[in-house]
Structure 1
Amino acid sequence: MGFNTSLSGISAANADLNVTANNIANVNTVGFKESRAEFADVLNSTGYGLRNNAIGSGVRLTNVAQQFSQGNIDQTGRSLDLAIEGEGFFTLNMNGTRVYSRAGNFQPDKNGYVTNPQGARLQVYSPSADGTRFDGALADLRLLSSDSPPRPTSRLELAFTLPANTKEPTITPFDPASSNSYNFSSGGITVFDSLGVGHVQTSYFVKTATPNEWEVYNFVDGVPVNNGSVPADPDATPPVPAVIGAPTLLQFSDSGALVSPTDGKINLGTFTPSTGAGQLTMNLDISGSTQYGEKFNQYNTGQDGYASGKLNEINISEQGVVYARYSNGVDTALGQVALTNFNNPQGLLSQGNNLWSETYASGTPRVGAPGSSDLGQVQAGSLEASTVDLTQQLVNMITAQRNFQANAQMLSTQDQITQTVINIR
């Protein structure tokens, strides 16, 4: 009996050493969770089930439990390196099978899918059509390699101050080729057609004989655009056509505030590009413009169109939203990283390669967005380090070694006692 008891102790100490060795071997493994060997005593029953004088029969290994504590988060600066701060696991698709991991060292494969080193694809919530919601089905995250499409300009902004003491031009009528036929011109705003080609919109300001009144002429690429100030009148006799490029009247109050147009908006009508793109229908917003002082000042320009763009970088927020950022300033949401948690993470089945799979003991997986429920947040450009404390493991190693030696010594003592009994005469 004593021999078997000591052998069980040696076996348990050896198992403890093996667990410690595995922890030390993975001290630098990304997302690794240290394990702990758990033991239970072995107690034989007497013939009648009485235990008050029963002696134990050794020890046995009952469980090797991984400790799912938070590891240190190390900055890497690489956009596809992800770390979870808090609870949860990355959700991965391994050839149609759902697996889970805390290791966030991801990279794109040859087809643009974001995978771990073993090829399991990172799962995300698909974005809605407008990119504002992420409540669709889970899908493989795939990085876009195509250009961002252009957006045609529909709204322009121009804010300026016209000098109140300006006189009418010396030359009439207005001619954009003659600088003496107008007082001031804007620096030009680049607008974009549906093919992403840029065009220049310019406004020319002409002081009228009426106090606090100006005319503004608008051109795109030197072509006058219909401001809508002189519309067509087909019922007139003879019919009156629309005046293309007719000016819009600007009127200011005696305190310099813009009073006409009342909403501060000028309809530029349509412009047909020569590039083969569709017609541009634009409005010019000049609200906030004033008539003050003695100098012309243009202090704000803007427009809502943009050209096509090349992919510059991938950015991931703390909520796990993956954005593709393009050279034209557009951010396109590709999806939201899906995290999964379990009631009993220690019930997960280790698959190796920093992967786990669910079991009956782990409970039903709960999938959600980072930061929701009990799920942690995602940190991009970071990796979660191994939870192994090397100093503690070295102490565990010494303890297990002493246990091994003590049980071996017990086995030697049992042998000596047996030899003494055999030698009795």
Structure 2
Amino acid sequence: MSFSQGLSGLNAASKALDVVGNNIANSQTVGFKSGSISFADVFAGSQIGMGVQVAGVKQNFSDGVLSQGSSSLDMGIQGNGFFRLVGEGGQVYYSRNGQFKKDANGYIVNDMGLQLTGYQATGTPPAIQPGAAVGPIQIPTGQMPARASDGGTLKGNLNSEAEAIDPSIAFDPTKSESYNSVTQVTAYDSLGNRHTVNAYFVKTGPNEWKVYTNDATAPVVDAAGKTQYQETTLKFNSSGQLVTDDQNPGKIGVVSSAYNGAEALNFELDMAGMTQQALATAMDNPSTNGYPPGSLNGYTLGDNGQIVAAYSNGEQQLLGQVVLANFTNAGGLASSGNNCWTETPDSGQPAIGVAGTGNLGNLYGGKVEASNVDLSQEMVNMIVYQRNYQSNSQTIKTQSELLQTLVNLG
């Protein structure tokens, strides 16, 4: 019996050393989770045990330390959750290794070619649509198309101390005495052509102003070749706040002619933020929502998993959002190598969502999660299992000597 006990102890200690060796070998593997071995005694119908057996190898899914990544697509998880990856055949894998890159087709992949999944942004402008399907995230390599301006804002302060323009003087942009101030707004057409829109302010009386606009780049002209202007009236109360009604909605139109093959502009500037105070007339960065085309300069990963592209036209655009998956029993996942796990009946089905929601952990862009192997503890474990191996071999040696003594007696 001692031989079988000793042999079982040798086998168990050998496997324990295998686990320790694997932990030490992967101490620098990004996202690696250390393993620990469990033992169970063996009985065979007697009070004296038959030895020991390996009950199982468990993985420790505690967090590793975050360190600086080497790629703009690197990401690290702190807390619950795994990256969800898919292979060429559609097989789904889960991993904590956040070292990612872009392949030739623009998909985000790990070093094994597995594609990272999440929500792809769609629409104009791109956004994550409600109920979007989870799938591989692709980063477009083409340029951002131009967006025609279809709205904008014009706000600031009009000087209440300004002199009202004589009613006998007709508005004429070529005559500075016919208006009090002028400001410019930049707009873009459907091809990305830049348009300069002039907005003229004419004080017509106490607390009342007229506003005229025209597109200086592609003005609208009548049959006689005369430039046409859009106009509206602004009325303020005694506190200098804009008063709006059906006749004076606090908006003014912007209309242009077709320019260089693009569609003509036709939108409104919202002036709800205009005030009239005894301060110098000044506009607060008038703007429209259009922009010219732009080429991709790079992309960043936010801590919420959103991948945002930066373009040469100064615009940013949402490309997609990484999802995380969590399991009721992460210890039930099956290791498939390459720092990946697969779902099993013991792990339960994955709960998929955005980082930082529910019981999912946080995601950090530009970081990677180091291995959670504790080298000091592993070295201690190695010494303990080595002594265990030696002790079990000693029981076999002792049993052999006893048998030899019996043989000599015979």
Q: TM-score scaled to structure 2, two decimals?
A: 0.86
* 1:237 corresponding residue in structure 2: none
* 2:393 corresponding residue in structure 1: 408
Asked whether 1:384 is paired with 2:380, we answer: no
After superposition, the Cα gap between the structure-2 partners of 1:115 and 1:57, relative to the gap in structure 1 and judged at 3 Å, is same
After superposition, the Cα gap between the structure-2 partners of 1:137 and 1:288, relative to the gap in structure 1 and judged at 3 Å, is closer
Q: Which amino acid aligns with 1:131?
A: A
* 1:76 corresponding residue in structure 2: 69
Q: 1:315 aligns with which of 280, 300, 321?
A: 300
Contact 1:171–1:181 (8 Å) recurs in 2: no
* 1:140 corresponding residue in structure 2: 136
Q: 1:184 aligns with which of 181, 185, 201?
A: 181
Q: 2:99 aligns with which of 86, 102, 105?
A: 105
1:198 Cα deviation after fit: 1.0
**Higher deviation after alignment, 353-362 or 384-393:** 353-362
After superposition, the Cα gap between the structure-2 partners of 1:174 and 1:374, relative to the gap in structure 1 and judged at 3 Å, is closer
**Higher deviation after alignment, 5-14 or 73-82:** 73-82
Distance in 2, Cα, partners of 1:246 & 1:112 = 46
* 1:344 corresponding residue in structure 2: 329
Q: 2:251 aligns with which of 265, 271, 276?
A: 265
Q: Which amino acid aligns with 1:415?
A: S
* 1:395 corresponding residue in structure 2: 380
After superposition, the Cα gap between the structure-2 partners of 1:192 and 1:72, relative to the gap in structure 1 and judged at 3 Å, is same
Output aligned runs, 1:21-420, within 5 Å: 21-45=21-45, 51=46, 54-76=47-69, 78-95=71-88, 96-127=90-121, 129=123, 131-158=127-154, 159-162=156-159, 164-166=161-163, 168=165, 173-186=170-183, 188-206=184-202, 214-221=209-216, 244-245=228-229, 248-250=232-234, 258=242, 262-268=248-254, 270-293=255-278, 295-420=280-405
After superposition, the Cα gap between the structure-2 partners of 1:371 and 1:424, relative to the gap in structure 1 and judged at 3 Å, is same
Q: Which amino acid aligns with 2:149?
A: T
**Higher deviation after alignment, 289-298 or 96-105:** 289-298
1:138 Cα deviation after fit: 1.9
Contact 1:152–1:196 (8 Å) recurs in 2: yes
Contact 1:170–1:180 (8 Å) recurs in 2: no
Contact 1:134–1:336 (8 Å) recurs in 2: no
1:92 Cα deviation after fit: 0.8
Q: Which amino acid aligns with 2:42?
A: V
After superposition, the Cα gap between the structure-2 partners of 1:198 and 1:171, relative to the gap in structure 1 and judged at 3 Å, is farther
Counterpart of 1:185 in 2: which secondary structure? strand
Q: Which amino acid aligns with 1:106?
A: F
The superposition leaves residues 120-161 of structure 1 with CA deviations (integer Å, 9 ceiling, x where unpaired) of 101113446462545222211111112222222233333232
* 2:2 corresponding residue in structure 1: 2
Counterpart of 2:33 in 1: which secondary structure? coil
Specify every segment of 5 or more residues in structure 1 that has no aligned partner in the other structure, as ranges.
46-50, 227-231, 233-241
Distance in 2, Cα, partners of 1:311 & 1:81 = 19
Distance in 1, Cα, partners of 2:262 & 2:134 = 37
The superposition leaves residues 365-423 of structure 1 with CA deviations (integer Å, 9 ceiling, x where unpaired) of 33333334432232222212111100000000010111111122222222222222222
Distance in 1, Cα, partners of 2:276 & 2:328 = 69
Distance in 1, Cα, partners of 2:58 & 2:350 = 19
The superposition leaves residues 209-244 of structure 1 with CA deviations (integer Å, 9 ceiling, x where unpaired) of x56655443221266559xxxxx9xxxxxxxxx993
1:33 Cα deviation after fit: 0.9
The superposition leaves residues 103-134 of structure 1 with CA deviations (integer Å, 9 ceiling, x where unpaired) of 11111111110011100101113446462545
Taking only the aligned residue pairs, the percentage that are identical comes to 41
Distance in 2, Cα, partners of 1:204 & 1:373 = 53
Contact 2:334–2:341 (8 Å) recurs in 1: yes
The superposition leaves residues 7-65 of structure 1 with CA deviations (integer Å, 9 ceiling, x where unpaired) of 221222111111111101111111111111222222223xxxxx3xx322222223122
Distance in 1, Cα, partners of 2:13 & 2:121 = 53
Contact 1:31–1:103 (8 Å) recurs in 2: yes
Distance in 1, Cα, partners of 2:243 & 2:351 = 60
Distance in 1, Cα, partners of 2:39 & 2:348 = 24
Counterpart of 1:87 in 2: which secondary structure? coil
1:172 Cα deviation after fit: 5.2
1:170 Cα deviation after fit: 12
Asked whether 1:422 is paired with 2:407, we answer: yes
Contact 1:125–1:134 (8 Å) recurs in 2: no
Q: TM-score scaled to structure 1, two decimals?
A: 0.83
Distance in 2, Cα, partners of 1:24 & 1:6 = 27
After superposition, the Cα gap between the structure-2 partners of 1:413 and 1:332, relative to the gap in structure 1 and judged at 3 Å, is same
Distance in 1, Cα, partners of 2:243 & 2:299 = 47
1:339 Cα deviation after fit: 2.2
Distance in 2, Cα, partners of 1:315 & 1:345 = 30
Distance in 1, Cα, partners of 2:161 & 2:332 = 80
Distance in 1, Cα, partners of 2:330 & 2:279 = 74
Contact 2:71–2:100 (8 Å) recurs in 1: no
Contact 1:144–1:324 (8 Å) recurs in 2: no
1:283 Cα deviation after fit: 1.8
The superposition leaves residues 223-275 of structure 1 with CA deviations (integer Å, 9 ceiling, x where unpaired) of 6559xxxxx9xxxxxxxxx993275455556665555873322233x212422
Specify every segment of 5 or more residues in structure 2 that has no aligned partner in the other structure, as ranges.
none
